[in-house]
Structure 1
Amino acid sequence: MTATQTAAPAQALPGEEGSGLDIRGLHKHYGSFRAVDDIDLAVPEGSFFALLGPSGCGKTTTLRMVAGLEEPTSGEIRIGGAEISHLRPFQRPVNTVFQSYALFPHMTIFENVAFGLRRRREPDIDRRVNEMLELVEMSHLAKRKPTQLSGGQQQRIAVVRALVNKPKVLLLDEPLGALDLKLRRQLQLELKRIQGEVGITFIHVTHDQEEAMTMADTIAVLNKGKVEQVGAPVELYENPRSAFVAGFLGQTNLLSVNVISRDASTVAVDFHGVRLTMPADRLSASGTAVEAGVRPEKISMADLGQAPSGMNTIDGTIIDASFIGVSTQYVVRAVADAEEEVAVFSQNSATRIRQVGEQVSLHWHPEHTFGLHEGAWIEAEAAEVAS
């Protein structure tokens, strides 16, 4: 088959017409190494979906298999219900935006965006290109060359050059990685706005947790070729189902505890003689010995013995305090166990900054506690290092 020929349309499954991206049993092996190990994902049409994880977790390999740049060892990839894994890259209803932008330096911005349309001899080229340039408010730069644009402007052009071809799925392979922090945050919101206006399914690969949570409707957290958890950003952050997710999406405290009672709604645990509680549906581990987790920003500090009633409370001594502008980050050593340390993020509002050596009562609402399997703190530390 030559580059100018097209493949026969892939057949959609009954009832799947119009669906987004569907991946089933996807594997990619390099010898004995499993880069992607039995991944299942269902991405709704028109959503902004992120593949998040550390380097080597399989996220980029997964994206490249969807794009047709890597051949799966096994598994199915469907878009709109049609199996596409046997199609060549140019035959798939996808376009990819890379970190390098890959703009043609000898062409104007207008011609860069029009390139794919001209190759396929499509109608209304001028109108469609101008619509895309207006989408990113860059019509006035149409006659410039890529080298005359900033990195952020080049990134916008790379996106609309891919969108002008009207793909069913736009693949974004860490497109903001080469930009400075301020511009990256600006373009995160810009990409989210563009996706909302065009309504095309976006699949975004990133190792940046904040970027994924800012932009995506749904995030799949990958680790060692497998999917750890899929959900909305708030769901993953507030209710992680594994230590890796808890540690990769922000910082968390994990306390070694023992379950002392449970019913349909509440689990009570013992932390070295201190009773703590959590909702039963937030304990994702079985057995008696588990880890109780709580995010540092959920914890408040009071003078020793002055914690409000009805809260989970641990007494301790401040052993470190770091002022970072909007907040102060404390480390408190629990009185109940000198080896347990708890991180606390406290907003620098009307409250005073506490000093190292002060004895305090840490307290948080029981509903902000979640439970993981015993030894989870080791996995969480590994996830924080990876992030």
Structure 2
Amino acid sequence: MTTEAGGDVRLSGISKTYGSFTAVHPLDLTVPQGSFFALLGASGCGKTTTLRMIAGLEEPSSGTVRLGEQDVTALPPYKRPVNTVFQSYALFPHLDIYENVAFGLRRRGIKSVKKQVGEMLELVQLGEQARKKPHQLSGGQQQRVAVARALINHPKVLLLDEPLGALDLKLRRQMQLELKRIQTEVGITFIHVTHDQEEAMTMADTVAVMNAGRVEQLGSPADLYENPRSTFVANFLGTSNLIEAEVDTRKGDDIVVKAGDCKLTLPESRCSAPTTTGGELLVGVRPEKISLAHADDAGGIPPGRNRITGKIADSSFIGVSTQYVIDSPVCPEFEVYVQNIDRDTRLVPGTEVVLHWNPAHSFGLDASQSPLAGTTGAADTQAVGEEAA
């Protein structure tokens, strides 16, 4: 998959095999200059191997790596204009923060480092911590030191390998915004490897979703979420309800499908599978796009909306919303998220309900795919040990 040419990083036909195991199938990828790009996927999908090939820490089995107009495929890591930030930070414990950041400049024989180190520490908002040792800083502060130490060398590309994995949830969310701010200020290409969907969607301009050594889909976070092209992407990025259906008729730019004893409508432009009459389709809709009505109130549902009936099997109050699981003849364990604005106290397990949504929020996927691809259980079975790969 390729975006526009002329980007900072261009991978052409790059692959990696270990004996009979293929960690990365041949892929073409262009990372636009100055962008924040994420490689997202479960453990063992090939994302770290791809990053290591860009860094020069792994030799590709085939293909080329170009940075700008330079072919760097045969260059060792230290000759490539890239720096890598790892999850472990790898700071020098005996050096203070100032000297950790200055290390790369001093190693290159630069004598006057004060101005550059000062600017970097200000960029990562650690100016007042300059004379502390790494062990005196929090995990988030240590991570910012690692970023400053990498950026002071003015790399064309900064590679981030699960950089926030060791942080707790609150600090991780804080650092997501911090890294995005730093990237915007310095304007350098960031390539970020993560298994965390929220992390990728919060920070990246463009996300490549990887699965089993291949890029499943490439796009902006909003596009991937709203228009998934495979069941893996639909399930891996958030939650999707997938309804088995059969194409029935066409209605203008929409198609009408039969699911059980009801008919549903969706835009043909949002189908990534053939829509021939009689063909099978998986109709997807996100849980937060659906409204939930008590069966007694079904008459008040506006015309033209997709609707299915069911019974509440379970509900969970999670503060910002209530998450319902609905048993429906059309789709078992149908999930609906309802914001807690005006809670209907009648909506308890056992209640008959009608689910309804705007047909434009539906998408169609190829029914030959597993509806469980990309879910937690399915992802676990795909883990192949990326460390070895």
* Offset of residue 124 of structure 1: 4.3
CA offset digits 1:103-148 (Å, max 9, x no partner): 0111111111011111112364211110000011111111111111
CA offset digits 1:152-202 (Å, max 9, x no partner): 110000001000000000000001000000000000000000000000000
In 1, Cα distance between equivalents of 2:222 and 2:198: 12
What stretches of structure 1 of length at least 5 have no aligned partner?
A: 1-14
Instruction: Indicate conservation of the 8 Å contact 1:247/1:384, yes or no.
Output: no
* Offset of residue 383 of structure 1: 5.6
Residues 1:217 and 2:166 are matched in the alignment: no
| Correspondence for 1:314 | 308
1:358 to 351, 357, 366: 351
| Correspondence for 1:5 | none
Instruction: Indicate conservation of the 8 Å contact 1:263/1:280, yes or no.
Output: no
| Correspondence for 2:383 | none
Instruction: Indicate conservation of the 8 Å contact 1:245/1:383, yes or no.
Output: no
CA offset digits 1:38-78 (Å, max 9, x no partner): 12111100000000000000000000010010000001111
CA offset digits 1:219-264 (Å, max 9, x no partner): 0000000000000000000000000000100111000000012366
Q: SS state of the match for residue 208, structure 2?
A: strand
Deviates more, 1:140-149 or 1:86-95: 140-149
| Correspondence for 2:285 | 294
In 1, Cα distance between equivalents of 2:377 and 2:33: 32
| Percent of residue pairs identical | 59
| Correspondence for 2:366 | 373
In 1, Cα distance between equivalents of 2:340 and 2:7: 47
In 1, Cα distance between equivalents of 2:357 and 2:220: 24
* Offset of residue 273 of structure 1: 2.4
User: Residues 263 and 120 from structure 1, CA distance in 2 versus in 1: closer, same or farther, beyond 3 angstroms?
Assistant: farther
| Correspondence for 2:17 | 29
User: Residues 66 and 264 from structure 1, CA distance in 2 versus in 1: closer, same or farther, beyond 3 angstroms?
Assistant: farther
Residues 1:342 and 2:357 are matched in the alignment: no
Residues 1:87 and 2:53 are matched in the alignment: no
| Correspondence for 1:331 | 325
In 2, Cα distance between equivalents of 1:146 and 1:261: 65
User: Residues 56 and 356 from structure 1, CA distance in 2 versus in 1: closer, same or farther, beyond 3 angstroms?
Assistant: same
In 1, Cα distance between equivalents of 2:250 and 2:231: 22
In 2, Cα distance between equivalents of 1:121 and 1:262: 71
Instruction: Indicate conservation of the 8 Å contact 1:244/1:383, yes or no.
Output: no
User: Residues 264 and 59 from structure 1, CA distance in 2 versus in 1: closer, same or farther, beyond 3 angstroms?
Assistant: farther
- Give TM-score scaled by structure 2 length: 0.92
Instruction: Indicate conservation of the 8 Å contact 2:234/2:374, yes or no.
Output: no
User: Residues 384 and 79 from structure 1, CA distance in 2 versus in 1: closer, same or farther, beyond 3 angstroms?
Assistant: farther
1:168 to 150, 156, 181: 156
User: Residues 48 and 123 from structure 1, CA distance in 2 versus in 1: closer, same or farther, beyond 3 angstroms?
Assistant: farther
In 2, Cα distance between equivalents of 1:224 and 1:48: 23
* Offset of residue 303 of structure 1: 2.3
* Offset of residue 100 of structure 1: 0.4
* Offset of residue 325 of structure 1: 1.6
In 2, Cα distance between equivalents of 1:75 and 1:284: 29
Instruction: Indicate conservation of the 8 Å contact 2:42/2:379, yes or no.
Output: yes
In 2, Cα distance between equivalents of 1:297 and 1:285: 24
Alignment of 1:1-387 (within 5 A): 19-122=7-110, 124-262=112-250, 265-286=253-274, 287=276, 288-304=279-295, 305-306=298-299, 307-334=301-328, 336-337=329-330, 340-353=332-345, 354-380=347-373, 382=375, 385-386=378-379
* Offset of residue 293 of structure 1: 0.3
* Offset of residue 274 of structure 1: 1.1
In 2, Cα distance between equivalents of 1:277 and 1:81: 48
CA-based RMSD of the aligned residues comes to: 1.7
What stretches of structure 2 of length at least 5 have no aligned partner?
A: 381-389
In 2, Cα distance between equivalents of 1:264 and 1:72: 49
Q: SS state of the match for residue 380, structure 1?
A: coil
